Amino acid sequence: MAEPAERGFRSGMVAVVGRPNAGKSTLVNGLVGEKVAIVSDKPQTTRKRVIGVLHRPGFQLVLVDTPGIHRPDHRMNAAMVRDAVDALEGCDAVLWVVDASARRGPGDRRIAELLRGQRVPLLAALNKVDRVTKSGLLPQLHELSGMAEFAALVPVSALTGDGMDDLLAELFRVLPEGPALYPESESAPGSLAEKISEQIREPALELTREELPFSLAVVVEELRQEPERGLTVVRASLVVEREGQKGILVGKGGSMIREIGSRARALCESRFGGKFFLDLRVQARESWRDDEQFLAQIVNPET
């Protein structure tokens, strides 16, 4: 439920868009001040919108982290791109996160064309400036400024925090006056099952390589609270596309799935509090990235 309006209070939703691996989730986490979205060095880590809410005296900033905009090669990827584009509807501003360590290409031009049609303030964060020289920044800023009309263009490093206060000030400047959209106690809206599935997927991404991260999904099949024991019991499946991939996740003698479970349990207990018991299974579901029924299940998990 929205908080009552205060005189002069500002609030609004900002869609955070960009190419895969531009650092959108790291930037959102940095602005919110806590980890609301999982991060990894794998492109397309974010598969659906994640909301992070920053509460400050006088304003509330609602950041909508979106999947990277890219050329889709599966129905899952097409759904991810649609989700990112749909996030632009109803937002109060758009923040385009651009990777300063990568050269501009057709993907950037497609995003610029998409954003030029928006009727809300457009800001750009030239991210990962810690990876480039200062002399290399000016040409990039000049090039970016010619791609769209920006309310602000801010060089930042979401990793080190450089420029993040400047970016926050610019975001505050474009927020409209209005009541808070979320209660002050809420920084990461969403179902617990969805959040837990992401805590399991993060270490699985960290520990696996090559094609497996792209063909891995996590489905929470049972979520049970046992208050008398202070325990949350989770039964979840790690789903891959081929039988031959199951062995990678299981590992020799079950070593890999145990390590994934151990790291995921620590993440859950750190983020949600209490004790967790995770029962993780591995299953193969052929071509699930093109299976609309299964995609609906992982996009809209049970609460």
* Domain positions in the chain: 10-174, 192-299
Fold of 192-299: GMP Synthetase; Chain A, domain 3 (3.30.300)
CATH no. of 10-174: 3.40.50.300
**pLDDT band for position 303 (50/70/90)?**
very low
Q: What is the model's pLDDT at position 65? A: 94
Q: Read off φ and ψ for residue 217, nearest 5 degrees.
A: -130, 155
Q: What is the model's pLDDT at position 235? A: 98
Q: What is the model's pLDDT at position 164? A: 97
pLDDT tens for 187-214 read 999 899 999 999 999 999 999 876 677 8
Q: Could you tell me which residue, 167 or 20, shows the higher pLDDT?
A: 167
Average pLDDT over residues 12-32: 95
Query: 220 vs 50, 198, 268, 303, CA distance in Å?
Result: 17, 10, 13, 10
Q: What is the model's pLDDT at position 43? A: 76
d(C-alpha 196, C-alpha 53), whole Å: 19
Closest alpha carbon to 120 in 145, 82, 151, 87: 151
pLDDT tens for 254-277 read 999 999 999 999 999 999 999 999
% of residues, the chain, pLDDT over 70? 95
Mean pLDDT taken over the chain = 91
**End-to-end CA gap in the chain:** 18
Mutual orientation of helices 24-32 and 164-174 as an angle, nearest 10°? 80
d(C-alpha 89, C-alpha 233), whole Å: 37
Q: What is the model's pLDDT at position 69? A: 86
pTM: 0.89
Instruction: Please determine, for residue 302, whether its predicted confidence score (pLDDT) is greater than 90.
Output: no
